[in-house]
Chain A
Amino acid sequence: MGKTLAEKILSMKTGLDVKPGDIVVSPVDWALVQDTTGPLTVREFLSLGLPKLANPTHTILFIDHAAPSPQKQLSCDHTFLRKFAKDYGAVLSDVGEGVCHQIMAERYACPGDVIVGADSHTVTAGGLGAFATGMGSSDVAAAFGLGKTWFRVPETYFIRLTGKLQPRVTAKDVILHLIGMIGADGATYKSLEFGGPGVAAMPVTDRLTIANMAVEAGAKVGLFPSDDATLEYLTQQGRSKDHIRLFADEDAVYERVIDIDLAALEPTVAKPHTVDNTAAVGELKGMKVDQVFIGTCTNGRLEDLKLAADILRGKRRNPATRLLVAPASPQVMLAGMRMGYIQDLVQAGATILPPGCAGCLGVHQGVLGDGETCLSTANRNFLGRMGNPEGLIYLSSTPTAAASAVTGVITDPREVA
């Protein structure tokens, strides 16, 4: 019987012929934490009393969530992580070096890898065909020490994408549409796997955006095949040798198949306070926005800077709407400068933030005031997410966010020049 991508990767890693429902112990290629989950992970690892990390050069500590630190307690957490990385020979990605999931894609994640991270959006690397999943601090501490973890092999939902997106309709609209359709728990415990002709034509950067939000439908992983587009991305990153081709078998067995015609999709917005509370942008047209935030592990890539710059070039943000832009990595920021996108955005009134998670999780750099509304390209709009339970968060694509920054109200990006 044929295998899905999840079954194929876990079979390769364990040397077993796995099927859904099996409990397997798999080697872990990469284990990562960030500064909000890392200190607990490190303390739990230390409590095990092990002399060393199982694989120090594949153990990565990212300082990206509250970077630079806005509070002394967080600064001390950062110090603790730096010292641990030094003492144990782990990899440290410090303040300004970018969002963990973007850096995993740029430098580390390979097709067919098993990656565990103490961050739910570790699933992002599924865009490169890696079995990457978010876990808590105990699980990642165990992976730090043992170099392995256990999985229940998931059943798979196959998302067959056909057609071609209209201009200014993006991968973000695809995943918001899917989550709106199946719900925030619509794929709990499942592997969400994407295929069909719409995927073959989709660049890895778009795949990363879609895989990133698989967890918002409850999924364990969001997986894309590793194909020519994957090779192209890895080659751009100087990592063509990391490429293997990886496809689900033709006769793989799926628990559910969902068809999406990309050509039929509208720009989509998720309303407060759950990601599945979606609407076509037209339904929200004209709603006032106090802050627009473009960035994060979902939409902080060079393609996003370009989409935003193409809309904002030669214009000004609405004076009543703050515009925050956080490139996801120094590589993105430098390319954005070279291409002139950063200049376009600054001239349009954007505040450029350092590479990092910025306001997404409500620690700093964009915390909302009482009653304020933010239109964000991030992945979560839970009550209190951006640091204030009295704030309202709407999620959209980058073009929708950029167009709304110009008008000061939620705007269909296809309706601005």
Chain B
Amino acid sequence: MLKGKAFKFGDNISTDLIAPGRLVHLRSNLSELAKHVLEDADPTFSSRVKRGDFVVGGSNFGLGSSREHAPVIIKMAGVSAVLAKSVARIFFRNAINVGLPVLVCDTDRIDEGDELEVDLAAGVIFDKTNGRTLTFGKIPDAMLAILNEGGLMPYIKKHGDFKL
């Protein structure tokens, strides 16, 4: 069970908003880059987020670049999952590959600051603040297999190949 607070963002949160291109010189220093996570969308986010919290976006979350640094630094900030109405393809795959769950659900029903509990196995989000229960779209089996190993590199190390 994942537990934490919702940090709400709007539609089209691009990888440039998550990991700004002007900070490209920090990409080999991820702990430093992580201090700037989502900075151009909300400059206060990285100082407020606590371990276990959730990033809650609107539609087309993570559009843009292939930079895997984006989901990596969201995860490094302690975020336990990204919730969004829809997710860009490369970001979705990257997030699963780095062991960050991405849950597609009706995020209009979640407000900023809501306390959430997520049961990944049951596919259910419980919003303790407003008492609502939401379901999220199933993560495809192939991706779930990778997520369950903690990401693609641990998966390859364990299986030596794709066993999807």
Contact = CB atoms under 8 A, between A and B. Distances in A.
Interface residues on B, range: 35 or more
Which of A71, A119, A135, A382 gathers most chain B CB within 10 Å?
A382
Given A37-B66, A74-B25, A146 B162 contact: yes
B20 interface: yes
B28 A362 contact: no
Interface string A135-172: 11111011001101110100000000000000000000
Nearest to B30: A40
B47 interface: no
Interface stretch (B74-82, B93-101, B111-119, B121-129): B93-101
Given A185-B86, A188-B60, A382-B14, A362 B22 contact: yes
B89 interface: yes
Interface stretch (B1-9, B49-57, B130-138, B150-158): B150-158
A149 B142 CA distance: 12
B46 interface: no
A72 to B, nearest CB: 8
A219 B89 CA distance: 8
B28 A76 contact: yes
B14 A36 contact: no
A134 interface: yes
B60 A138 contact: no
A218 B89 contact: yes
B88 A363 contact: no
Interface string B27-44: 111000000000010000
A306 interface: no
A136 B94 contact: yes
A387 B153 contact: no
A73 B66 contact: no
A402 to B, nearest CB: 25
A135 B60 contact: no
Contacts of A25: 162, 164
Contact of B89 (A189, A274, A387): A189
A79 to B, nearest CB: 11
B27 A39 contact: yes
Contacts of A80: 28
Contacts of A137: 66, 68, 94
A36 B97 contact: no
Nearest to B22: A387
Given A134-B90, A189-B89, A48 B153 contact: yes
Contact of B151 (A77, A135, A138, A363): A138
Interface string A356-390: 00000111000100000000000010111101110
A73 B21 contact: no
B36 to A, nearest CB: 11
9 contacts: A136-B68, A138-B151, A142-B156, A149-B162, A152-B142, A185-B59, A185-B88, A382-B16, A383-B16
Given A137-B66, A367-B22, 20 more contacts: A25-B164, A36-B27, A40-B27, A73-B25, A73-B26, A74-B24, A77-B27, A134-B90, A135-B66, A136-B94, A138-B97, A139-B152, A142-B162, A185-B86, A188-B60, A363-B21, A363-B25, A383-B14, A385-B21, A388-B22
Interface of B: 12, 14, 16-17, 20-22, 24-29, 40, 59-60, 63-69, 71-72, 86, 88-90, 93-94, 97-98, 140-142, 151-153, 156-157, 161-162, 164
